[in-house]
A and B are shown apart, each in its own frame.
Chain A
Amino acid sequence: MPVSVVITVDARACKKCGICVEFCPKAVLESGPFGEVLVTRAEACNQCRLCELRCPDLAITVEGG
């Protein structure tokens, strides 16, 4: 059963430190040309929510599923 996961990055709170991109175990996220976080493989997300937990700025949310 496909689950729909919505990953949102709050552009105002995000400081582009890259922690979520580096430590995502499923490589769902990527850094854009300006360091911004891009959600490129949302279908691979298993909702471990480590990005949420490790984000120092509470900027990334994983919802749905």
Chain B
Amino acid sequence: MAKLKPLTELRKEHFHFSRFPTTYCPGCGIGNVLQAVTRAIDETGRPPESFTFAVGIGCYGNIGNYLDFDELRLSHGRVPAMATGLKLARPDLNVIAMMGDGDATAIGGNHLIHAARRNIDITAIILNNHTYGMTGGQYSPATRLGDYATTAPYGMLEPAFDICKLAEGAGATFVARTTTFRMVQTIDIVRRAIEHPGFALVEIDSQCPVIYGRMNRWGDAVSMLKKQNALTVTLEKAKTMTPEELKGKIVVGIFKQAVEPEFTGEYYKVINRVRRPQDAS
């Protein structure tokens, strides 16, 4: 990993720091993710003008207020669909699709799996805080079995989605999971995801101390991070553990990294093949 850039420079280059403090609750993991993503963008060495963020609805939807990047602010769940359109129209852009767990896997679940299946060169950063924080803590498909939510006052009855396995099964070529506590690893993984040619999905397990933490008596941000860290298992260690031992654990690492034909490239190959010479502009 390259030497960390001074935070004052990062604030100046990539953030509207004059608009701080953010509207997020104290200790919310979104700020960590923003820092990790901007640092990763810096480390790729690509010009910041070549990046466009596509963000959906949720607490995450506000990030455009604080980031000094081009941004598409989209309807709920349609981030992968709109990002696909943008990438096909402007293949020179680096499109970063920022989604929450509800945005990506419930409302936009269909778009997500098809973007993964096409293997289009988009970097999807999914912040998994296990709840719909913005609307008051309803359960999402990523709420853990037995946990409490506004709409699950007696505990969640449905098992949670494993977002990484979902993406892997759908055909994403880069799949990784990390946490907000492991910031150095998060920056490294996000950088690899951006550099990966194809659909890259990074799930970042985050704390939601005010909504999810209080509902489940996990305490404040500090105790949530401690608990998150205690539940974290690296991929190497997970391989030696039984499925029973892995229940409820957060396995972090890069699950898949493969190079396969990328959709934008294939799409333009077809255009170049069928376009008549007189139509070429």
Contact = CB atoms under 8 A, between A and B. Distances in A.
Interface in B1-39: 4, 6-8, 10-11, 15, 17, 20-22, 24-32, 35
Contacts of A18: 27, 220-222
Contacts of A55: 31-32, 35
Contact of A56 (B6, B7, B30, B220): B30
Contacts of A44: none
Nearest to A62: B7
B221 A17 contact: yes
Give the size category of B's interface with A.
20 to 34
A56 B59 CA distance: 14
B24 A52 contact: no
Contacts of B32: 53-56
A58 to B, nearest CB: 6
A43 interface: no
A53 B27 contact: no
Contact of A54 (B17, B22, B183): B183
B221 A58 contact: no
Given A17-B222, A61-B6, A61-B7, A12 B21 contact: yes
A63 B267 CA distance: 48
Interface in A22-59: 22-23, 49-50, 52-59
B21 A15 contact: yes
Nearest to B19: A13
A22 B209 CA distance: 15
A58 B7 contact: yes
Given A58-B11, A58-B35, A19 B29 contact: no
Contacts of B7: 52, 58, 60-62
Contacts of A63: 6, 8
Contacts of B26: 15-17
Q: Is the interface of A mostly helix, strand, loop or mixed?
A: loop
A57 B221 contact: no
Contacts of B209: 17
A36 to B, nearest CB: 12
Contacts of A12: 20-21
B12 to A, nearest CB: 11
Nearest to A21: B222
A13 B20 contact: yes
Nearest to A16: B26
Interface in B220-278: 220-222, 225
Given A19-B222, A58-B20, 5 more contacts: A18-B220, A56-B27, A57-B20, A61-B7, A61-B8
24 contacts: A12-B21, A13-B20, A14-B21, A15-B25, A15-B26, A16-B26, A17-B26, A17-B27, A17-B209, A18-B220, A19-B225, A49-B4, A50-B183, A53-B4, A54-B180, A55-B32, A56-B30, A57-B21, A58-B7, A58-B10, A58-B17, A58-B35, A61-B8, A63-B6
Interface of A: 10, 12-19, 22-23, 49-50, 52-63
